[in-house]
Structure 1
């Protein structure tokens, strides 16, 4: 009994320890969400939507500042939609969307269009969320494999870039289209040869028979 109780206690402690380790190892929930209509490396004219959570019970969000990842320039970003009265202004490292303060606990949701996504597996958008009372939420920590983050930057996972069209395709198409032409030409040549041979031989035979018949008649008449 003592052995069983000891084993049970050890298992219970182990289970609690594992649960604590797993809970602390999991990354914190991202407070700025990001999604795209075409989340693929190299995609063009991609609409990216952000949602910055308002974590203040009293203050309102007045602006959101974003540092763009490598491969995307401020000039490549245009404003699509957002809160009423908000507008986008390019900055040295990215852009800023700002306008009248939102209602308390109202999230700042907006969308931008990017001319082209870089050839990468992920792209992170370091974000500062500014409040009417001077508070600033800094979501700027880049994802690190195997490590959690208290202030993660919104990160978009990208599918691999589309494979380029094969250069052999036109040659294959040309070859396939040339084959019927060659076959048709060969068939026409064959039909032409076969059609002209028979009448020629028949004509020659008729001429030869006529000549022979004329010779025979001439000899018969001469003999008579």
Structure 2
């Protein structure tokens, strides 16, 4: 008995469909997996100066240089921070850090400073921390505090160029100055934003100014913590949604495959 063309098409079509759709299902699953990896991959961290928000012009502040280790096969063993000599600071005092030696380098100023009635012809131009032990291991970060002042009142920011040295002799140069309205450079220099001092902090004593700086630092840290928590929650929520979509796609593919396989078996039996 001869089969008509319509009968042949009806008989062969179910068997052909699974093989033609399976590559599409696999491609969809692979694309979804790529999306999951892209969402869950963290951005690289940079050497930064905190408080990242702002510090009062003309005041004193304690700033922290936060140094993450971005390598998985080497430790950070040295940090060199250069200070802007165009806006010199009369007072720069490092806080001792366990496991690190610190060296303060001074340079002569082209234009002497006047601080508390005294002329200052030299100012700190570089601070260097060198590890006495293992340094900053992979997966960790370290803060290096400096007490600085008086902050200049003729600029809106201070740029601190930094060099980060690893145990394998690699040197990462954090020296590119970020520009407003442009994308962040690959190796941005730590930058401290300076704000106009409020009327409440216009006091000549170090105690009042230090209090204001401490309050600003605490507020910035609290704000940074909130932003971090919000960012983490958003990231977790996005990942969960993507994984849910992947589950739906895989489940639908499984159901479709089962239906098509069943049709194939029935066609073969007929």
Q: Give the aligned CA root-mean-square deviation in angstroms.
A: 2.5
The one of 126, 132, 145 equivalent to 1:111 is: 145
Deviation at 1:35, TM superposition (A): 1.3
1:1-224 counterparts in 2 under 5 A? 31-36=46-51, 39-44=55-60, 46-69=61-84, 70-73=86-89, 76-90=91-105, 92=107, 93-100=125-132, 101-105=134-138, 106-119=140-153, 120-148=155-183, 149-162=185-198
CA distance 1:151–1:78, shift in 2 (3 Å): same
- List runs of 5+ in structure 2 lacking aligned partners: 1-42, 108-124, 204-270
Aligned residues, how many?
136
Asked if the contact 2:58/2:149 (under 8 Å) is kept, the reply is no
**For 2:136 and 2:191, how far apart are their aligned partners in 1?**
26
CA distance 1:95–1:85, shift in 2 (3 Å): closer
- List runs of 5+ in structure 1 lacking aligned partners: 1-27, 166-224
Asked if the contact 2:64/2:143 (under 8 Å) is kept, the reply is yes
Asked if the contact 1:72/1:116 (under 8 Å) is kept, the reply is no
Asked if the contact 1:30/1:151 (under 8 Å) is kept, the reply is no
Q: TM-score, normalised by structure 2?
A: 0.45
Asked if the contact 1:65/1:128 (under 8 Å) is kept, the reply is yes
Asked if the contact 1:42/1:161 (under 8 Å) is kept, the reply is yes
Deviation at 1:132, TM superposition (A): 1.2
Deviation at 1:137, TM superposition (A): 1.0
Q: 1:147-171: per-residue Cα shift (whole Å, max 9, x none)?
A: 2211111111121134569xxxxxx
**For 1:29 and 1:157, how far apart are their aligned partners in 2?**
22
